[in-house]
Each structure stands twice: as C-alpha cells, then as structure tokens.
Amino acid sequence: MRKLLLLLLFLSTEVASRPVSYPGGWTFMTMNDGHKYSVHTHYSPTANYSIGYKGEFWRSGDYQIHALQINNLLKRWNKQHAQANIYLKSGIGITYSDYNSFNSETDPVFFTGLAADWETRKYFISYENRITKSNSIVDNFRQKARIGFSPYVADFGNLHTWLMLEVSHVPEDEKNFAYTPLIRLFKGPSLLETGYSSEGKFLLNFVHRF
C-alpha cells in the first residue's frame, strides 16, 4: 500500500483552475469555500507539471495541512475552439490539530485526486475528486463538479464573466450535497470567483498567474 501511495505521489497532479501553467510560470491561488481556506502557490518547469506549496485550514475538524503538491497534466485535447484536460494532483506533508482529543497532534498526511475539465469560450464543465489520509486526524473523500457558461465572449485582456453552478459531495457530512451558484470574473492574469452555497457559506477564490 505504501509503495502504491508513493507511486501515486510521483504521478500526481492537480486539476481545476488550471493547476499547471506555461514553462517557467508561477501561479498563486487562494480558495475559501466554507469548509476550508487554502493557499496554493506553484511553479511549472514545463507545461506538463507543476510543483508547489499547499496550505489548508479546515474549519470542520479544525485541522491544518501543509504539503508539497505536485500537479501533473495527464492528457490534454486541443481543438479549434475547445480544450479538455485530465490532471492528477497529489501532495504529501503534515497535518496538525488540537481539536477535541487531538492535543497539538501532528501527523504525516497524503492526498491525491483526479480532475478533468472541458472548456470552450462559452461553456465550461469540470469534475474533481480527492482522497486525504493521515494516521489519525484526517481520512476523507470529497468530489465536486461544475457547469458554467459565459453570457458574452470578450477579447483577451478584457473582462470575462462566467456564471457557474458547483455541486460538491462529501459522503461523511450529514447533508452530503451542497450547491453553490457562483460568478467568475476573469481578466488577463487574474481570476476571481464568488458564490453562496446551499449551506449558507460564502465561496471566494482568487487566482493570479505570473
């Protein structure tokens, strides 16, 4: 099992929000969706993988993850007016919690997941999942999907606006499905998303590519 996990790590990737940039590109992301707040910054030596730091602060469970994350582009389809991708995103690091019986406990943690997306200049579909496992603090599976459209098509450098619906599924939660209508504003190297979920939580994501 350990060998399999190590193998997955080195094959690993990250999906949604374009987890791999152009050769020599840096990306900074911050995501806040009610379950967690995360920061991820990565460097892409080639257009096929990126490597970087991922920090997550989970509200439910009150634990943190600090990890080295590798995102691999497994497959890309480039069409005249469309692009589709499959990524593997994985990380290894430590998790920390002082919640309930955890007395400032620190655990090694591993996560991996697949992500896929298809996008034209007007339509967008994506799916991603992730398994996260540590010795005692974290053991969960999560998945989410998105569908969206752009009400108008703008040139490069102008403001792009997307309206999307995100459905997330967390089997361990009492209400295990959540629905988040959101707005994505995209201009040049920056992307901002905001939404409000069926659980009454705000979503606020920001991505900047250098």
Partner 1 sequence: MKTFLTIIFLTFLNITYAVDNVHNHDNHEHSSSAQGLSTGTVDPKGGKIDVNVFGLVCDFCAQAIQKVFMKREEVSGIKVDLSGGLVAIYTKQGKDIDDEDITTLIVDAGYNVDSINRE
Q: Could you list the residues that contact partner 1 (CB under 8 A)?
A: 18, 20-25, 46-48, 73, 76-83, 119-121, 151-161, 183, 185-189, 191, 194, 196, 202, 209
Cβ proximity to partner 1: between 93 and 195 the closer is 195
Cβ proximity to partner 1: between 177 and 202 the closer is 202
Least separation in angstroms between CB 130 and partner 1:
22
Least separation in angstroms between CB 178 and partner 1:
15
Q: Using CB atoms within 10 A of its CB, is residue 67 exposed (0-12), middle (13-18) or buried (19+)?
A: buried
CA distances from 98 to 56, 59, 64, 93, 130 (A): 15, 12, 10, 17, 24
Least separation in angstroms between CB 8 and partner 1:
23
Distance from C-alpha of 48 to C-alpha of 27, rounded to nearest angstrom: 14
Bridge-based pairing state of the strands 36-46 and 49-58: antiparallel
Distance from C-alpha of 206 to C-alpha of 183, rounded to nearest angstrom: 12
Least separation in angstroms between CB 139 and partner 1:
33
Cβ proximity to partner 1: between 155 and 174 the closer is 155
Cβ proximity to partner 1: between 177 and 196 the closer is 196
**Cβ contacts of residue 87 below 8 Å, gap of 6+?**
13, 14, 15, 19, 20, 71, 72, 73, 74, 114, 115, 116
Least separation in angstroms between CB 140 and partner 1:
28
152 secondary structure, DSSP code: S
Cβ proximity to partner 1: between 103 and 200 the closer is 200
